[in-house]
Structure 1
Amino acid sequence: MARLNKICFVIMGFGKKTDYSTGKTLDLDKTYKNIIQPAVESSGYQCVRADEIQDSGLIDKSMYALLMQAELVVADISTFNPNAIYELGIRHAVRPYSTIIIKEEEGKIPFDLDHNRIFHYKHLGEDIGTDESIRCQKALSKTIERVTKGSLVDSPLYDFIKDIKPPKLPQCEYRKIIGDLADREMHIFAIVEKAKDCMMNNKFEEAAKLWEKAAQTLPSEDYFLQQQALAVYKSKQPSELIALTDALRIIEELAPDGESNDPETLGLTGSIYKRMWLLNSDIECLKRAIKYYEKGFQIRNDYYTGENYALCLDMMSASEKNKEEKIYYAVAAKKARVRIIEILNDIGFSVENGDVNLEQKWAVATLSNCYYGLREDDKAKLFEDKFMLLAEAQWEKDTFTESKIKLLELTRK
């Protein structure tokens, strides 16, 4: 399931607009709902259109902030809406790349934009045909992948004038703007952004309330409930055990009968039971943690879930009195870690590969733990150092360190 972490800001006109160069009237809301929004969200971005946050028809500070800060902008210049053209100009001035221009296939293209690569689609006026919608969704998704992966310059300003630096919006100012929007409940993305900022700063109780608000606003998105459960158990309030119990109740909303096929839900449920085991030494909690982690690992070769599965097997081995059972769990843990390394190597991770990015930080952490578990400490330290550079929040570093200490305690006896 794609995670809606990154923001795509959509520049376009709203409702029915007439292209005066052709005399054709287009329902641009159909373009947004049938092409742009599904393509953007399937690519893992949260889609925000300007009218969803505006208090008035005028561009305001939140729009300026998003034009600077959004990881991706899609600008539909069909009918040459002056606001859309103006906002595209601002984006080109502040970001060298990650801007996609789209347009209905008929009509002229303004001189200042005709050198840009423009994604074309066919509009019927009142609606967009089903075949055209499907074609454009697939094609736009591929364009998004190409544009964001390659970081190719698409702004004519930065293309023609070399060695200029784009302006930066101070993070404190961006947080304030997003916080204002969230407080007014102007849009789901603002609530989510504020929740993520609270998580980053270990304000877990506040984050849990925001994730709950997001989940109530958009109940079809499992991610918000998952994050609410994570924030609740990270809060340790009013006590760690009660927080874990509350988190389990929240996550069980996604699997009322205790069954799920979503690795994220399975991994989070396993993590809650693992922490319960560490608190109360109830072996049933450890068995349940193993059950959920193992299923998550098997369903999708989910490496992070797999490493936690291996760690729980080590815990079970340490708890076992029977010698043969103790050996069985230890061997199973080793096999799981070897398999995880194979999986990550298959998708491009290796000890020699230094090109890792923020989205891959938990893969890096997993490799470090796997190598520590296999007693290959030099490789483990290499990936540990990479993870610490990528980790943004203190709780992420604390989670890794806690897991590493427990792992070494179990495997180095």
Structure 2
Amino acid sequence: MPNSEPLCLVIIPYDRKKDAAGKVVDYETVYRRLIVPAVEGAGLVPLRADEQRSGCLNFSQPLERLRYCDCALADISTGDPRVFYQLGIRLAVHPVPALLVYAAGCAHLPLEAEDLPAFPYRVSPHGQPMHEAKYRALLTQRLLELMDGAGESAVYRGVRGEGEEGRAQRERIAGRELHATVFANLLKKGRTGGIAALRELQSELGDLVEVDPADLVELLLSYRAVNGWGEMVELVRQMPPSLAGSVLVQQQLGLALNWSGEREQAEQVLRQLIARRGPSGDSYGILGRILKDGWEKALEKGDMELARELLQKSASAYLKGFEADWRSTYPGVNAVLLMELKDPADPRRREILPVVHYAVEQRIRSGAADYWDYATLLELAALSCYEAKGRDALGRSLAMVREAWEPETTARDLRLIREARQRRGAECPAWADYAEAELQKAAERGTARP
């Protein structure tokens, strides 16, 4: 006889999984000791999304569960792609919102969980659930609240798009696309007019809380293109908290603070971001850049002790960024660069350099190459004294310059390599000196066409 109790779909990984920082979550134990008792306490029957209960493989079972279970709970702790695939289907086909849960302290939540109806629980260093009685009771309460107040979720309503509501939504989308095109053209003109023009455009936006977040991000990046560091910092302060706290905006805030001369505050922003959202190539890469700039300033002041400390910290940050994502070539090339600049040079650079070279070559082959990919090849060629590849990379990078600070940054890195080798009495290839001069000319022109 069919069970009349409502079913709770549980979307959760199997076995033990690690997050980006290596923290383990034992999902089998979490499911058995935390999720199942909490679900049953709410008068629901737990059912894992892709568990096979028949004797043979049945591909229709998981899809049926995603569509017909009365409610759903999804664990998004480590960003498991299978979990998000199943969660996406569930949200699209069922009107009752899903309850999202995650292990607090996991290093790399792929969503801004604090802005979603997401519930944290705690695990031990070995990935076992902690304070089980407390979190079971809280989860049960959340599930009861979800079922008592069940109504159509915004996702389900948005993707269904039926009748008059669907037509109205299509009109809103078309209006947003038209607005985005107009705003993009205004920003393009604003960049040409400089900081003053962008300020005027911002003043016309009115209350920033009501502005499309995508427009605010584009405005932020436009300020960056014209060196409006103070304007970037002020813009972030005026953004809605949910947008201001996002990974991209916090990364750009760190850069802007650094360029404004607030290095310590910039470093604090990035370290807090990494602690909150976990290690990534981009976040550690920006932190490495901030520390690298501090190292150069310490050298200028003659504070050699501080310079050595910051050089070590910067190299370590870049290396952590590369280890977080081996495809992230920016922290990789900078880790190798700073290892070259140490006195004596760090021998590990010889092991890492070919890995970075392979990663950037793969990116170029994928068709997604930009200025930085060819600039990375140029710096790697300078580090390995490979003239033919260096000259080819120089021409390609100059052809892809978008903003003046790009060739300026690469020219500075080539200068650092040259000066380090001069201090050690090592040979400095003449073609690398030529590349440095050409990049500096491109930076002074603002654009480059060799």
How does the TM-score come out when normalised to structure 1? 0.52
Give, in whole Å, the separation in 1 of the partners of 2:210 and 2:219: 12
Aligned residue in 1 for 2:338: 312
Give, in whole Å, the separation in 1 of the partners of 2:210 and 2:394: 40
For structure 2, the 5+ residue unaligned runs are 1-18, 20-87, 94-109, 112-157, 192-197, 300-306, 422-426, 429-450
Give, in whole Å, the separation in 2 of the partners of 1:186 and 1:93: 18
Aligned residue in 2 for 1:120: none
Residue 365 (1) aligns with residue 375 (2): yes
Aligned residue in 1 for 2:279: 261
Q: What is the CA-CA distance between 1:75 and the residue it aligns to? A: 9.6
Residue 195 (1) aligns with residue 203 (2): no
Aligned residue in 2 for 1:398: 408
Aligned with residue 270 of structure 1, among 263, 284, 288: 288
Aligned with residue 172 of structure 1, among 189, 202, 207: 189
Kindly report which structure 2 residues correspond to 1:152-301, keeping only aligned pairs within 5 A, or say none. 169=185, 171-172=188-189, 180-181=204-205, 184-187=208-211, 188-214=213-239, 216-218=241-243, 220-236=245-261, 243-255=262-274, 260-281=278-299, 282-301=307-326
SS at match of 2:256: helix
Q: What is the CA-CA distance between 1:390 and the residue it aligns to? A: 2.8
Q: What is the CA-CA distance between 1:362 and the residue it aligns to? A: 2.2
Aligned residue in 2 for 1:339: 355
Q: Deviations over 1:198-252 (max 9, x none)?
A: 001111111122234447343652221111010111223xxxxxx2122112222
Change in 2 beyond 3 A, CA 1:370/1:169: same
Aligned residue in 2 for 1:349: 364
Change in 2 beyond 3 A, CA 1:94/1:221: closer
Q: What is the CA-CA distance between 1:76 and the residue it aligns to? A: 7.8
Change in 2 beyond 3 A, CA 1:260/1:348: closer
Give, in whole Å, the separation in 1 of the partners of 2:308 and 2:320: 19
Aligned with residue 407 of structure 1, among 398, 417, 436: 417
Give, in whole Å, the separation in 2 of the partners of 1:268 and 1:185: 27
Aligned residue in 1 for 2:134: none
| Maintained 8 Å contact 1:232/1:246 | yes
Give, in whole Å, the separation in 2 of the partners of 1:212 and 1:89: 30
Give, in whole Å, the separation in 2 of the partners of 1:278 and 1:88: 48
Calculate the aligned-residue CA RMSD, in Å.
Answer: 4.2
Q: Which amino acid aligns with 1:339?
A: V
Change in 2 beyond 3 A, CA 1:392/1:364: same
| Identity of matched residues, % | 16
SS at match of 1:349: helix
Give, in whole Å, the separation in 2 of the partners of 1:308 and 1:94: 39
SS at match of 1:287: helix
Aligned with residue 384 of structure 1, among 380, 385, 394: 394
Q: What is the CA-CA distance between 1:93 and the residue it aligns to? A: 10
Flag the structure with larger Rg: 2
| Maintained 8 Å contact 1:296/1:306 | yes
Q: Which amino acid aligns with 1:349?
A: I
Q: Which amino acid aligns with 2:384?
A: L
Change in 2 beyond 3 A, CA 1:248/1:173: closer
Change in 2 beyond 3 A, CA 1:203/1:385: farther
Q: What is the CA-CA distance between 1:192 and the residue it aligns to? A: 1.7
| Maintained 8 Å contact 2:209/2:239 | no
Q: Deviations over 1:85-104 (max 9, x none)?
A: 55677899999xxxxxxxxx
Give, in whole Å, the separation in 2 of the partners of 1:388 and 1:92: 33
Q: What is the CA-CA distance between 1:335 and the residue it aligns to? A: 2.9
| Maintained 8 Å contact 1:215/1:224 | no
| Maintained 8 Å contact 1:362/1:387 | yes
Q: Which amino acid aligns with 1:409?
A: E
